[in-house]
Structure 1
Amino acid sequence: MANSALLVMDVQQAIVDLAGNGSGYLARLRRAIDGARAAGIPVIYVVIALRTDRPEVSSRNKAVSAAARAGLFTEDDPGTEIHPEVGPRRGDIVVTKRRTSAFSGSDLDLVLRSRDIDSLVLTGISTSGVVLSTWCQAADLDFALTVLTDACLDLDPEMHRFLTEKLLPRQAHVTTVQEWLAG
């Protein structure tokens, strides 16, 4: 069996405040986290955080430059902290990224490879942002992928539906938290 890790991506206070906890999202994510821990699967948190003086921000990157202009996601901003309902525990890894993909501007690939992890379970906010970008890059890096549809959230429900039903299944096993825990 593959060596797996559960990625909990961009579930930060400001992002949860923006996206909301619609239909029990954090509770479902918490079940996935607890299930991973019970199965001995490492839980790796991925957060976006920009340096206070923002040297990594380019005006050519619409999303990152918009966040920077709004004063979001600086390393010292309380909104950048992982939401306390699903926060890390001792032994969990927190990776900081500087772009949309969990791999961009982070040491995630180094962490995964040093632990011989070859299979990723993707969760996070948003499906059309961090989940999609990480899915693309992880597939190109030859990771086996699982996406937990109800542990992903997007501001656009139709986009979430399209991605989880049409696009993501092309390179990932797409399932629910309950089905994943039962498997």
Structure 2
Amino acid sequence: MGNSALLVMDVQRDVVEIADGGSGYLRRVRSAIDGARAAGLPVIYVVIGFRPGRPDVSPHHKVLSAAVRDGLFTEGDPGTAIHPDVAPQDGDVVITKRRASAFSGSDLDLVLRVRGIDHLVLAGIATSGVVLYTLCQANDLDFGLTVLADACLDTDPEVHRTLTDRLFPRWADVLTVEDWRTALTPN
């Protein structure tokens, strides 16, 4: 798996409230985080956030314009914080992005390159948003990739299944959190 890092993306209070209907999602993400820590892998959190007044959101961007109209994702607002059930520990890096991909409008690539990370393990909300966009860009940047299917979540379960069953396997290893944790454990 190369020099790997776990990316926990957009698991923010407001996003979890919108997307998770009590599926046990946070428990699975917590298990992935615990597995990464036990294996000595860095856990890097990625959040979406916009400046107050939203000077970084174009009215031409349908999805982001709708989100900011609904009052979502202003930096410093409690709903924009990482969900406390999966909160970072001291020493974890938190990246703020300005668009769907974890790389867009952020210094993620710099943080990864400085640490010599060449393999990314992806978890996050939404499968059709941050996970898809980050996977595409990371693939183009020649990172090795693993997607933790059950540590990704989408408001549309069919879209989630289509992406994790049919599209993502073209570019990444797609595993459950349990199977990934088992692969991390030396025999």
Question: Which TM-score bucket, shorter chain as reference?
Answer: over 0.9
Cα-to-partner distance string for 1:46-89 (whole Å, 9 max, x where unaligned): 00000002111111111111111111100021100000000000
Alpha-carbon distance between aligned partners in 2 of 1:127 and 1:102, rounded to the nearest angstrom: 13
Alpha-carbon distance between aligned partners in 1 of 2:163 and 2:126, rounded to the nearest angstrom: 11
Alignment of 1:15 with 2:15, yes or no, is yes
Alpha-carbon distance between aligned partners in 2 of 1:11 and 1:138, rounded to the nearest angstrom: 19
Cα-to-partner distance string for 1:18-62 (whole Å, 9 max, x where unaligned): 012532110011000001001000000000000002111111111
**How does the TM-score come out when normalised to structure 2?**
0.96
Q: Secondary structure at the match of 2:7?
A: strand
Matched residue, 1:144: 144
Alpha-carbon distance between aligned partners in 2 of 1:76 and 1:174, rounded to the nearest angstrom: 34
Alignment of 1:57 with 2:28, yes or no, is no
Alignment of 1:86 with 2:91, yes or no, is no
4+ runs deviating over 2 angstroms: none
Alpha-carbon distance between aligned partners in 2 of 1:14 and 1:73, rounded to the nearest angstrom: 8
Alpha-carbon distance between aligned partners in 1 of 2:101 and 2:64, rounded to the nearest angstrom: 12
Structure 1 residues without counterparts, runs of 5 or longer: none
Identity of aligned residues (%): 69
Cα-to-partner distance string for 1:121-158 (whole Å, 9 max, x where unaligned): 00000000000000000000000000000000000000
Q: Map 1:61-140 to 2 at 5 A.
A: 61-140=61-140
The number of residues matched between the two structures is 183
Alpha-carbon distance between aligned partners in 2 of 1:154 and 1:48, rounded to the nearest angstrom: 16
State the one-letter code of the partner of 1:86: V
Matched residue, 2:27: 27
Structure 2 residues without counterparts, runs of 5 or longer: none
The alpha carbon displacement at 1:111 in A equals 0.3
Alpha-carbon distance between aligned partners in 2 of 1:62 and 1:43, rounded to the nearest angstrom: 31
**How does the TM-score come out when normalised to structure 1?**
0.98
Q: Secondary structure at the match of 1:105?
A: coil
